[in-house]
Every structure is written in C-alpha cells, then in structure tokens.
Structure 1
C-alpha cells in the first residue's frame, strides 16, 4: 500500500537551506517499504509511533492516513477486528473533515477486511459507495481501482461473467490513465477467471502480460506474485514439475526481498503440489515451513489456512486424531476472524471426517452449518460438496431419498469432476454398476489430464 498523504503542517525549513521532509513522513515511507517486504512488526512499530505523535498535531488528514497505514499492517496479520476499528475511525475522521479521498481510502480498506473475511456483501457495499465517491471526484484511477475491487468480489463468489465485466471496465479506465501498476494486477486477476473456466492458454497469456508489466516497472513483489499464479496454473494442468519450478522462483525472489509472507505462501502452495502428487512427506515438510513463517509473522489467517491444509494431509495419512485436531484449530481461527469462505470449507472437511468415523449426528450438524454459510456467500463448489455429504448421510437410513437427491444434482452438474463424483456416490448408495462404470471412465479421463493422487485412489477403489 502506498501512503499518499498531505503533510502541510509537517514541513521544516532551515534558514538558507532547501526545505526537507519532517522525519515523520520519511518514517511513514519506510514503514510502507517494510510492509511490502514482509517486515510487518517493524512497520507496525513505526506506524504506531507516528500515530501517537500526529494525534497531538490536530491534522485530521494525517491522523487518518496513519490509522489506515497501521490498520493495513494489522489486516495483513489477520487481526481483522483491530484493523477494521482503525479503518472505521479513519473513515469517521475523513467524513467529518470532508476529505473525500480519505473517505475513499478508508472504505477501500474496510472493504478489503470484509473481503478477507469472506463477508462479500459488506465488501461490495463499501466498493459501491466508493464508486460514487470516485465518480463525484472525477478521479478516473480511483474509479478504475474500484471496478477492480468489485471484480475481485465477483470472482471469489464464482460470478465470473460479472467479474470479467468489472475487470474490462477497470482495464479501459486504467489504460487511459496509464496506471500500469494496477493494470498488471488486473491481468493476473483476469487470468484467474480464465483459469477457473478451464481456458488455460488465455490464462497463461494474461499472466505473462502481467509479468511483463511488473518487470518493466521493476516491481519484484509483483513479479513474484505473477510467477506464483503461473505455478497455480501449471498445478491445475497437472504439470507439477513446472509448477514447482515457479514456486521455487517465487521463493527465491521472496527471500531476496525479505518478503516472509510470500515465502510462506509459496511453501504452502508447494505443499499442495506434493499432496496432489501423493508425496505426503514433502507436503508435510512444506506445510510446516509455511506454518513456521505464519506464526513468526503472527499472520492468523495464514496460520488457519495452513492448519486446514495439515488437516487434509493427516486425513490422507489416515490419522484421524491429528486431522481432527488440525481441522478444529482451523475452524476456531476462521470463526474468530470471520473468514466465512474458509470456515465453510473446514466445517465440511471436519464433517466428512466425522462421517467416515461413523459419528453421524456431529457430521450432520457441521455439514448443515457449512452448507448454510456456503449458500450465504455463494461458493458453488463447497455447496456441491456439502450436498454430496448430505446425500451420503441420508443414504444410511433413506436410500431412495438419497438417490433422488443425487440424481437431481446430476441434471445440474457443470463439469466432468462433478459428474464423476455424483456417479461415484450413486454407486456407493445404490450399488448400480452403471454408475460405477460412468464414474470410473470420468476419473480415468480426469487423471489423464491432471494426474492427481486423489483420482488415482478413486480409480483403484472403483476398479477393485
């Protein structure tokens, strides 16, 4: 985040000398650099000291600016309630002083907290208000960035058409403004849409454009993020060697920058690759590295995500005690931080584990909560998984109703993976060989395209 604030009351002149910035402004800039490279504790200390000092200056714009700066560090650490309190106070101060750019900045930050928490309606409410402010100011870059943030909400809700519309509007505005920094980020986000839709060549093209822009700007953090997205693309395609190569490059850049957070994210993503390959020992090593970094940074969100990943890993290793403990920790953090996307995911995973342990009432309770949250924030993949488990639970006592539920879902299936899963579970409930044959053929085709260990295991189960 760049702190572009006015410090009209904080200039100091020496007789006969050129004006110089008051150290406060230089320290704010230093804190911003420390934020980018992941040295959050140092950045937080600077913002706290500066905020304490400026509160005696009676300069509301500067106070609000430092509140936004400190709040963003706390947001990065996953300390969302504290961050939101600072952003709301900055919003109040900027509103009273009629500082519309300050109001816009505070609302963007508030929206990012809600977005990180998975509270997408509130995030969108902030961004829509911001859109009106940017339009009233006649500030094209702010309008373009607001479209970008609105697109991100649509993207994470699976509303790809709406997301792409926002991104295209943003691109037109940012291109006219020659805002290459935000255009490069936009390229990456548009690439995510095409990747999720399975258009891998177009996604790669956009990632490469974003990467070229970041390189032209000399933005190494942006380069790192773009390479990481390319690693995710190769992982989706099952090209695990190239995916790992990207993550190794990302880690090298992060180490050069001292960006501990991105280093931890890279390690976690490498763990996912190793999980997909069935190399659980390396996955465990990567997840532990990611967790160590998250704990060092006190990044609660990343700690929770890694706990969830470790739960999945221990589940694969058939260690239900460890899996359950890690899911519980992930759920607790997701509840505390109101990370609704992750909360419904981990609730479902824990419910699935309980179902395999024949703890049906507990499984049913957690799965129902997961389904309710997933429907509320509109996450179709998790809704689908919850409904599958709902049918499995129903099938224990009412096979006919369970079969009907799964058959109804077949008519709504959107891809081969869903068709395979539905036929797999229909076979387990009904024993009809036609469903086994259909699921087996689909999983074999999926495994040929993306050689995930999970597909291999399901093929072995159905082929036995």
Structure 2
C-alpha cells in the first residue's frame, strides 16, 4: 500500500469513528465499511492493519450493544479475522475466531458454511500440532462436502488430510488422498487446487528420494500458480524446490530458490512462509559451512515460535537444526539436549518421520563422540523408521553410517577369528557356517533386524573360548576321557572372560555362555532348561550341532544332512527347542541350507554373512545423477 493509500485509509477510519454517534439506521453500513477496509488491507498483505480494522469493528459492535444486523455480516467478521490471524501465525487466536463461527451456522440450511468452518479449524489445528483433532474436523468437513457434492471442498479436504498424513509419516494414505483429489480437480478444472495437490505430492516424492519426480511435481505446481497470479503459493513451491535441490547437493540452485521465495515472502508478509524459509536457510547454511548464518536463522525461528508459544513440527525441526549447529561447534552436551527435546516432542505429536531424522542426527553425534554401541542402537531405530516410510535416500545414508560403525566391530571379530583360524581351521570354518545357519533360522522366525544381528554376532564368536583349550584335546582323533571332556566344557565361560571389557552393541555374552545348554536341562555350564535358555542360544545350539554332525572331524567322517537331522530329531529329541529344530528342518527341505553345509568358507566370509543381515526389499530410486534445475 502506498503512503497516500495509508493516509486515505486512516482518514476513512477516523471519519467512521466520528460517525458512530450518528443515526441507528446507519450502524450496519458503518460496520460493513470497517470490514471493507480490513479486506483491502489484507489484499495488500498489510495484515496488522487489517486486524486493527477488524478489532475496531468488533469493539464498536460490542461497546454500543448494537443488534445483529445480519448473521452474514457477523460471520464475515470472524471469518476474516480468523484468516488474518492465521496469516500472522497466531493460530490459537485464529482457531477461537473460527469456533465462534460455528455458533452462527448450526442450522442445517447453513451446512455449506459449517463444513467450510470445520475445514478451516482442521487446517489451523494441524499447524499447532493437534493432529488427532485436526483429522476429526477435516473428516467432518469431507463428509459434509460429499453430501453437498462440492468438488472444490472435497479436494481441499483431501489435500489437508494428505498434509497431515505426511506429518504423521503415513505416506501411502497421503498418496491415496492426493490421487483421488487430483483426478477430481482435473475433471472439474480446479486449477489452483490441482497445483496445491501436486505441490504436496512432491513432498512425498522428495522424502522417498525420488528427486526427479519431486521436481516434476513442484514445477508443474509452480507453473499453474504463476499463471493464476498466486505468488504466495508459488513461493511455498519455490521453498520445496530448494529443499529438493539441497537434498541433491545442488547448493547454489537451492540458495537461488530460497532467496526467490524470500523476496516474495517479504512482499506478501506471510509469517508462516518466512518461518519455513528461515528453517530452510538454516539447513542450507549448515551444508555450506556458514555456521554463524545458520545460528542467526535458527535463532530467528526460535524467537518466532516462542513469541507465539508454538510447539509444532517447525519447533521440532528448529531444535534438530540447533542440535546440528551445536555438533559442528563441538558443543556435544547441548547438541544432545536439543536432539532429545526435539525427539520427545516429535514422539508426542506422532511426527514419526521427524523422529527418524532426529535419531539419525543423534546417532551421528554418538558416533562422533566414540559412543559406538549407543550410536548403532540409535541408528538402527532410525533405519527401521526410514525403511518403513520407503525413504530410500534416508535409508541409504543411515545404512552407510551403520555399516561404518559395524565395520569397527567386525574388525574386532576378524582379529579374534584369525587367532582361531591359526589355532584350528575347522573351528573358524565351523563358526562361519553356524553363523550362516543361525542367520537363516533367525530370518525364518521373523526376528527383528537388531536381534538377527545379535544372533549372527553370537554365532561368529560362540566358540571363541576354544582359543584357551589345548590343541591336543581339540584335535584328538579318539574319544575324550571324562576329565578331558570336563576341560572342553570350560570353553563357554572362557569365551565370556575373553570378551569381558569389550563393549558390543549386541548382547552376545548369554549366547556364548549357554549355547551348549539342552532343552531338557542336561547341558552345560548351567544346566538351564526349556525357555530359561535364551532363545538366541537355542538357535545357535541347533545350528552348532547340525554343522558339527555334517562336518569332517579328526575322529569320524561327516554325516549326510538327512542322517544328521534324523539323529537330532529321534536320537537327541529332548536336547533342542522343537521350534528351532523344526525351522532348521524346513530350511533344509526347502534347499536353503544346501550352500552352507560342509563348505569351505572364504577369508571374507564374516563380511558376506553380515551383508545378509539387513532387509533389501525397499524400492530404491536411481539418484546417482543429480536432477538439473534452474530457478528464475
């Protein structure tokens, strides 16, 4: 608005206030003029001025005890005030204005107005992080719009449902909502809503690492917005384009996109847009190594959120970025505090994708501070969530960091394995085969990834205690004497002693100690019985005995697999957990164990086995080549 326009607006408002002492018949016209002034200010993006006009209108109405000239005028007052407060980021106040509207449209004849209000309240509640209540309101709006056969309302409701589903990490539900709405918007030629939907659909593509598809969605939306003169919506899309380019490492193009959006945000005075751009610029500054700018943008975001007492998805993101800044400044204590605060709120608000991102950053922090065991456990949680969301890019990044940490432990295992190999090549090959069989059994039982890795780690080291058993006993061609067998039976406890002081991310001590326990309680060293034996040790026990029977030994030839399984089922019936033994039998019958039985293992066998511990069923997108983009 020009200086002259502002001056004229002030004169009009002053004249209106003077005329409030006029004739009663003119009160309605006076109030309407205040509303017109507010709408003009909003159109010029002067939301503070618009709010002042609306407050003057409401104060006059209440102070003079004026009658309700028309429900329509009262409805417009609260509707416009709610929209203005929303633009200013004052969401709780905006919600209160919209809730007032419900008092004016209870009649069934006013269903179209009521469902609009439901949708408005739902949108605002989503912004404050009240996702459950938001979903309730938006579903009520959707139901009403369907009754009215209102295509625009149906599409808007589905768009907002999808946005909430994205926040909650329910991407399949979000895509289903968008697909229905896009088809309807296309048929009804609802161009702006159509572009909105593609803009949101791009967010899902970006999260899942399909950057090419994400940019296609964003540019399609941007073209429509620019054609329709929707510069504010176009700026939101520019921010999304920048985020995708940032993910690809196209830092210059990302910066150009953010700055283009920032220029628009300054023009339209959209507080929400400025907020998300501050977050985007924080992330960009971190990636280019400009930590002072990152801190400045992050602090501006924090001041905005604190001033409005907002604890929502943006608050979570701000705390996560503050943690990353602290990490780069080697302020690890504060970094951990920021990550913990962000994670707690993400969990409270059910922002599962945000929670996964925070766990990834915290895992990085723990790795950086040499807390490898804790880092691995944290990153495994992040990986599981990213895998669940089919976020291929995030999965690959997390997997890479996990592999880096696990390799540190595998090198420890490898050092021990070499000692075993030098002492007795059979024991080394035996441990590799037992680990392979245990992996198959654990996977067949459907154990979680972390437990599968624990079983494999325990199987690889289950006989480590034999390092301190004399060679003459291990390689004796004849039958052992009772005294010699007693000495052999010490190897589980010796293995536990050898690992004392070594921190591992998996609880393998119980497997090493109890892998010779028998289901009927006649095993050693503790004589545990049934389910008192750890389940992982019961898996290793079955794999251990089967491999021993099917392998050549100094004192006998190998048994054929069918014979070995027959002996285990009918001659050692009570030694094994029936479930574990049946699982091994099924694997053999399906031919899945054939490549393991009595084979010579390779030098890198341990790494080959480990590579099979992680699921590989996620659909990956080829992002090896960055998607080129130029933002004007």
TM range (shorter): 0.5 to 0.7
Report the equivalent of 1:212: 186
**Offset, 1:279:** 2.1
Say which is worse superposed, 341-350 or 109-118, in terms of deviation.
109-118
CA contact (8 A) 1:187 1:210 kept: no
Say yes or no: does 1:289 pair with 2:260: yes
Which one is further off, 186-195 or 331-340? 331-340
Q: After superposition, what is the alpha-carbon deviation per residue over 1:392-433, rounded to whole angstroms, capped at 9, x for unaligned?
A: 8899999799789969989x979736997799799979x877
CA deviation map 1:104-126 (0-9, x unaligned): 33434444456567666555444
How many angstroms does 1:339 deviate by?
Answer: 5.6
Change (3 A) 1:214 1:268: farther
Q: Is the 8 A contact 1:118 1:377 kept in 2?
A: no
Counterparts of 1:382-397 in structure 2, within 5 Å, are: none
Matches within 5 A, 1:30-429: 48=9, 52=13, 56=19, 58=27, 59-66=29-36, 68-70=38-40, 72-73=42-43, 84-93=51-60, 96-97=65-66, 98=68, 99-112=70-83, 122-135=93-106, 138-156=109-127, 162-193=133-164, 196-199=169-172, 201-212=175-186, 215=189, 220-335=191-306, 340-341=311-312, 342-360=314-332, 362-363=334-335, 416=388
Conserved? CA contact 2:154–2:181, under 8 Å: no
Partners of 1:158 and 1:222 lie apart in 2 by 23
> Cα distance 1:360–1:85, how it changes in 2: closer, same or farther (>3 A)?
farther
CA distance in 1, matches of 2:374, 2:8: 57
With over 3 angstroms needed to count, the CA separation of the structure-2 counterparts of 1:255 and 1:394, relative to structure 1, is closer
**Paired residue secondary structure (2:289):** coil
CA offset at residue 134 of structure 1? 1.5
- Give me the whole-angstrom Cα distance separating, in 2, the residues matched to 1:206 and 1:177: 17
Deviations 1:145-186 (A, max 9, x none): 122123324544666665444333323323444544433322
| Shift in Å, 1:62 | 0.4
Distance between the aligned counterparts of 1:396 and 1:240, measured in 2? 29
1:301, distance to aligned residue in structure 2 (A): 3.7
Higher helix residue share: 1
CA 1:385 to 1:120, structure 2 compared with 1: closer, same or farther past 3 Å?
farther
| TM-score of the pair, normalised by structure 1 | 0.66
Return 5+ residue gaps in structure 1 as ranges. Answer: 1-39, 454-464
Distance of 2:612 and 2:117 partners within structure 1? 44
Question: Deviation per CA, 1:60-84, whole angstroms, max 9, x where unpaired?
Answer: 430342254256447x66x5x6655
Report SS of the residue matched to 1:189. helix
| Preserved CA contact (<8 Å) 1:187 1:207 | yes
Q: Deviations over 1:242-288 (max 9, x none)?
A: 33233223333333333322232222111112122232222122112
In the alignment, what sits opposite 1:9? none
SS at match of 2:104: helix
8 Å CA contact 1:355–1:363 kept in 2: the answer is yes
Taking structure 1 as reference, are residues 102 and 449 closer, same or farther at Cα in structure 2, changes over 3 Å only? farther
Offset from partner CA, 1:18-54 (integer Å, 9 cap, x none): xxxxxxxxxxxxxxxxxxxxxx889x86994796365
* Equivalent pair of 1:244/1:273 in contact (CA under 8 Å): yes
Please tell me whether Structure 1 or Structure 2 has the larger radius of gyration of its CA atoms. Answer: 2
Q: Which whole-Å CA distance do the structure 1 matches of 2:55 and 2:115 have between them?
A: 23
* Correspondence for 2:620: 448
Q: Report SS of the residue matched to 2:330.
A: coil
Aligned residues between the structures: 407
Does the 8 Å CA contact 2:35/2:57 hold for their aligned counterparts?
Answer: yes
Question: Shift of residue 221 of structure 1?
Answer: 3.4
Q: Distance in 2 between matches of 1:425 and 1:189?
A: 36
3-state SS of paired residue (1:133): coil
Unpaired stretches in structure 2, ≥5 consecutive residues: 20-25, 411-452, 454-504, 507-609, 626-632
Partner Cα separation in structure 1 for residue 373 and residue 55 of structure 2? 49
With over 3 angstroms needed to count, the CA separation of the structure-2 counterparts of 1:238 and 1:51, relative to structure 1, is farther
Pick closer, same or farther for the CA change 1:172–1:113 going to 2, 3 Å: same
Distance 2:148 2:211 in 1: 39
Rate the CA distance shift 1:401–1:231 in 2: closer, same or farther, 3 A.
closer
